[in-house]
Amino acid sequence: MRAFCTCTRQRSSDKNIFMKVREEGEGLTVKIGPSLGGIIFGTVFVLIGVLAPLLVPIKSYLECDKGTMKCTHQSANLLWSKQIVFNAWRLKDIKREAVETENGKSHVIKEIKYHYKIDTGQGIIKFPFFDLSELDANTLEDNIKGFIMGDNKHLEEVYETKMFLLLFVFALAGLITIVAFGRSTTCVIDKGKDIFMILRKGIFTKRNIELKLSKIRYIGLARSVGSKGSSTFRVVLYTADGDEVPLTSYYSSGFNSHMKVAKKIADYIGLDGVKYEDALIEIESEEEPSK
């Protein structure tokens, strides 16, 4: 069994990445990742996309017949269905309820939608299970009145939502996020063999990149700015041939945690500092330079 000179594990308050370091003789191994924030974010999306269609009704059905004076109400989702049979005359006491949607900042009412409550004698049910526009609510109410007070002998109302398709997109986006940010990068540095090996491992992928250690001129931080001005980073190697080789295939938040990774490698290789936006940050410095 080989003994290591040092063995440390560092977690940053930036929370999105961690670094594990092993050093032995002329070799250094640094493991970066995965992005915990990205994995958590993706998992939440997957859970919403998978569980919501299984728990929330996606179909609401009401059928009434004047010959039997019976109504059947059924609500269903992908896992279960619930059915209630009640006296059709109870539709005379149906109640309409309005739902107002406000603007969160100005508290101005943006939209008013409607649904109905029916006392079936076995409990009060909401029909349909989602809210309707005023036009659709008026149409439903006219149809019910036509059955109760008019000559219509049959009433059939079916409401179905395609929301589960949107939720499927949620789940897919979450899965893609988990795959993207669930990657880890292991850097194996061997001074004796003049090797800098980058091993990238994802949930379904694996890739190895081998560089000459003597060819590395700088190690730096590359920054990407989002549409809202937020910054994400990744560690990049700059070679004597002019190539830029990123250690990770993705950008993630956390300047300090990325800088710790870059400084650890730069210090071990013997570089003067870390290159960041045309500036060279010394190994001892821990602050992001002012713009």
Q: What is the Cα–Cα distance from 28 to 148, expressed in whole angstroms?
A: 82
In this prediction, residue 18 carries a pLDDT of 61
At 170, the pLDDT band (50, 70, 90 cuts) reads: confident
**Alpha-carbon dihedral 139, 143, 144, 149, rounded to 10 degrees:** 130
Among 1-10, 12-21, 192-201, 213-222, the range scoring the smallest mean pLDDT is: 1-10
Q: For the whole prediction, is pTM greater than 0.85?
A: no
In this prediction, residue 237 carries a pLDDT of 92
Give the pLDDT confidence of 103-121 residue by residue, as tens digits.
Answer: 656 556 677 889 899 999 9
64 and 115 share a domain? yes
109 and 235 share a domain? no
251 and 194 share a domain? yes
Q: Is the pLDDT confidence value at 100 over 50?
A: yes
At 166, the pLDDT band (50, 70, 90 cuts) reads: confident
Helix (H, G, I), strand (E, B) or coil at 139: helix
Domain that holds residue 117: 59-157
Instruction: Note whether residue 230 is domain-resident.
Output: yes
In this prediction, residue 167 carries a pLDDT of 79
When pLDDT is averaged across residues 258-281 and rounded to a whole number, the result is: 83
198 and 277 share a domain? yes
In this prediction, residue 154 carries a pLDDT of 93
Instruction: Note whether residue 291 is domain-resident.
Output: no
145 and 107 share a domain? yes
* Pair 89, 105: CB distance under 8 Å: no
In this prediction, residue 278 carries a pLDDT of 65
43 and 167 share a domain? yes
Percent of the chain with pLDDT over 90: 23
Structure tokens at 104: 């969160």
Give the pLDDT confidence of 53-96 residue by residue, as tens digits.
Answer: 777 777 889 999 999 999 999 988 777 788 999 999 999 888 99
Q: What is the Cα–Cα distance from 91 to 82, expressed in whole angstroms?
A: 19
Strands 154-160 and 59-65: antiparallel
Helix (H, G, I), strand (E, B) or coil at 242: coil
165 and 256 share a domain? no
20 closest CA partner among 257, 203, 288, 243:
257
Q: What is the Cα–Cα distance from 260 to 266, expressed in whole angstroms?
A: 10
Number of domain units in the chain:
3
In this prediction, residue 251 carries a pLDDT of 77
262 and 194 share a domain? yes
In this prediction, residue 138 carries a pLDDT of 92
When pLDDT is averaged across residues 199-208 and rounded to a whole number, the result is: 84
CATH of the domain at 192: 2.30.29
Q: Of 18 and 130, which is predicted with more confidence?
A: 130
* Pair 28, 10: CB distance under 8 Å: no
Instruction: Note whether residue 276 is domain-resident.
Output: yes
Instruction: Note whether residue 289 is domain-resident.
Output: no
201 and 74 share a domain? no
Instruction: Note whether residue 200 is domain-resident.
Output: yes
* Pair 15, 37: CB distance under 8 Å: yes
In this prediction, residue 90 carries a pLDDT of 92
The domain boundary, picked from 126, 149, 181, lies at 181
